[in-house]
A and B are shown apart, each in its own frame.
Chain A
C-alpha cells in the first residue's frame, strides 16, 4: 500500500490498522457496543416489519438470549442436564474456532494485511489433523494430540504463508491471494474426502466422508453429557492462544516489528525493519491460528468430516472471524469477546428460535447472518463513528484527552 497524498482529517494514517488505532483512542469499548446495539436494532426492525409486530421482535430476541445459555449465569447450576448449562456449553463450543479465526484475522491486520483466507487455512488444518489423527493410532494420547495440533497449526501457517510470500516477493494483493486459496482448499478437501480420495473413509467407499479420528487423538470433554457433544478442552487451548497472541504482539520484538509495519510500512522500513520478512511472518502466524481452529474442531467435536457440509464451520468460520476481530479492534481480549458474541449469536439463533413460538424457525440462521452483516458493515465505517464521537466531544470539551503514542495506544 503506498502512501496516499497528504490531506487533512483522518487520511493521515496510511493503513486501516492505523485508522483503527485512531478509533481506539477515540472510542474505547463504547463504539463496538454501540455498533452491536445498532445492528441488533436494525435487525429487530427487520423482524418487526416483516412480522408486523414489535412484540414478536422482542420475543425473538428474548428467545435468542435463552438459546445462548447466557441465562445460566443468572442461575448457575452444576446439573449438567440443565438446559441453560447445555446451551452455554454449545455456545462456547461454537465460539472456540471463532476465537482462533478471529485472532488469525487480527494478527494479520496488525501487520497491515487483510487475511480473508481463514476458511482455507481452517480447512487445511482440519485435513492435516484428520490425517494425523486417523493414522498413528495407538500412540500415547497426549503425544498424539500434541502431534495433531502441531501438524494442523503448521499446515495452516504454511498455507497462509503462500499469500505472505506472494505479497512480499511480487506484491500480489493478499486479499485476492487468500480468496483463491480459500477455494483451492475447499475443492482440495472435496477431492480428498470424495469417493476414492486419500482421506475418505476406507470401509465405505461410496460415502464421501473422512475416517474418524482415532480414540487416542480426541480431545477429552470436560463439561457435558456423554454422547451429547460435550464441551471439549479446545476452549482452553483457544484461551491460551489469546494469551500467546497478546504476549507475542505486545511483549516481543517480533510483535513490535509487526505492529510497526502495520502502522506505517514506510516508516518501519526507514527504521530498519524488514517489511517483507514481517509480511511473511505475520501471515504465517495468522494462518497458524486459523489452522489450529480447524485442528481443534477435528479433534474435538467433529472427528470426521463430510463433503459439502453446509454448517457454519465449513463455509463461514473464517468470515465470522473477520467480524470478531474487527469488533474487537484486533486486540486479544477484544477478539475473544467478539468471538464469544458471534458464537452466542450463531448458536443462540439456531437453538433459541429452533422451537420458536412466534416466528418460522428456519428464519433463525438467516437472522444471525443479517446481524453479522450489519455489524461488519458498521464496523468498517469507522469514519462515521469517529465523526459522531468527535462531535460528541465537541459538545463536552472538558473530557480527558489521552496523548499516548499511536502504536502504544493500539495495544
Chain B
C-alpha cells in the first residue's frame, strides 16, 4: 500500500485498485490457452495458445505486484500449464483428441466432482466451526452403503438418501461427542471413525446380503433431463444427476449461510476464537455440534452419489470411497476454506479424474496415472504456501474447554 492509497479511502477507487479481476481473467486465459488446442476449437499450431498463455502469465505477475499473491501465482501457473497442455495436445492425433475431449468429458468431470463438492462443503462447515473432520472418508462410506441399502429395501432412492443422511449424521454425532465434549484429539477420533466405517459397512454388507451382489433394479438417483438432442450442451449437461444440480445449489447456499447470515458469523466466530464467541453469548458447543452433524449428513450425501449414482449403479463395494473423502478434504484446503474456492478445486480434481479415465481408455493405462496424482500434488503445493499462505480457521482442531 502506498501512502496515497492509505490516505484516499474511496470504496470505488479501492475496488479499481484491487487486482482480483485481472487475476481471475489470467486464470481463465490460462484455461483458454489449453482449450484452443483441443476440440471443438482445435487450432493445430502453438502460436495462439502461446500468445494467450503469455498474456495470462503477465496478468498474473501484475496481480502479484498488486498484492494478491495467491491469485497472481495461480494465474501464472494456469498460463504455464495451459501452454504445456496445448503442446501435449499438439503431439497427439486429431482422432485421439476427438475421442478424449468430447461432451462426455464435461459430464464426467461434473460427475466426479459431485461427491467432492458435497465432501468439501461438509468439511468446510465442520472446520469453520473449529472441528477438523478427518472422518469425512468414513462418513461418506457409511452414506454409500446405507444409502444403497435403504434404496434396495425401501424401494426408492429417496428413502436411501434419508437413511444415508441419518447414519452419516449419527456417526458425526458420535464423533462430535468425542471431539467436543471429551476433547479427544480430533485426528485420532477421525481416524477411528474411518476404521469403524470400513468395518461396519463391510460387516453389514456381508451380513445383510450374505456376500452376494445387491439385487439389480435398485432405484437409482434420477437424471434431470431438461435438454435433449445431440448438441454439445445437451450431451454435456442433459444427463446430469439430481445430486449434481443439488451440489451447485449447495455451494451457493453454503456461501450465503457462512458469509451473509448471523448464523454464519457465529459459526466462523467459533472457529476463529471460541473464547470470544463464548463471551458474547454464543453457545460454542451447540454450534460445533450442529456443524459436525451437518458435516456428517452432507458427507453421507456425497457417499450415496458413489453407490446410487452413475459410478456405482446401485452396487456397493468394500471401501468403495477409495480416498475420495481425502480428496474432498484436499479440495476444501485448496479452496482455502471458502465455498467458491472448494467448488473450483472440486471441479479441477474432478476434471483430472475424468481426464485420467479418458486417457487410460484412449492412450494407455499409464497415461492417466499422472492426472490421478494431480489433486494431491496441487494441494501439497498449496499448503506449502507457494501460491500464498493458506488461511485455515485460527482455532481449527483445538478443543474448547468451557470456563
Contact = CB atoms under 8 A, between A and B. Distances in A.
Interface of A: 1, 4-5, 7-11, 16, 46, 50, 114, 116, 166, 170-173, 175-177, 179-181, 183-184, 186-188, 190-191, 194-197, 310, 315, 319, 322-323, 326, 360, 362-363, 365-384
Interface string B377-403: 101100111000110100000110101
A315 B319 contact: yes
B333 interface: yes
A319 B192 CA distance: 9
A128 B94 CA distance: 39
Main secondary structure of the interface of B (DSSP, over half): helix
Nearest to B186: A380
Interface residues of B, number: 58
B333 A191 contact: no
Nearest to B198: A369
6 contacts: A11-B399, A179-B326, A183-B327, A194-B369, A370-B200, A373-B195
B189 A377 contact: yes
B355 to A, nearest CB: 14
Main secondary structure of the interface of A (DSSP, over half): helix
Contacts of A360: 206-207, 210-211
Contacts of A372: 195, 199
B359 to A, nearest CB: 13
Contacts, number: 175
B372 interface: yes
Nearest to A19: B185
Given A170-B384, A379-B188, A369 B364 contact: no
Contacts of B398: 1, 4
Contacts of B257: none
A183 B328 CA distance: 13
A190 B401 contact: no
B196 interface: yes
Contacts of A362: 206, 211
A5 B275 contact: yes
Contacts of A50: 203-204, 207
Contacts of A10: 183, 401
B184 A369 contact: no
B284 to A, nearest CB: 13
Most chain-B Cβ atoms within 10 A of its Cβ — which of A179, A326, A372? A179
Interface in B194-239: 194-200, 202-204, 206-207, 210-211
B329 A366 contact: no
Contacts of B318: 310
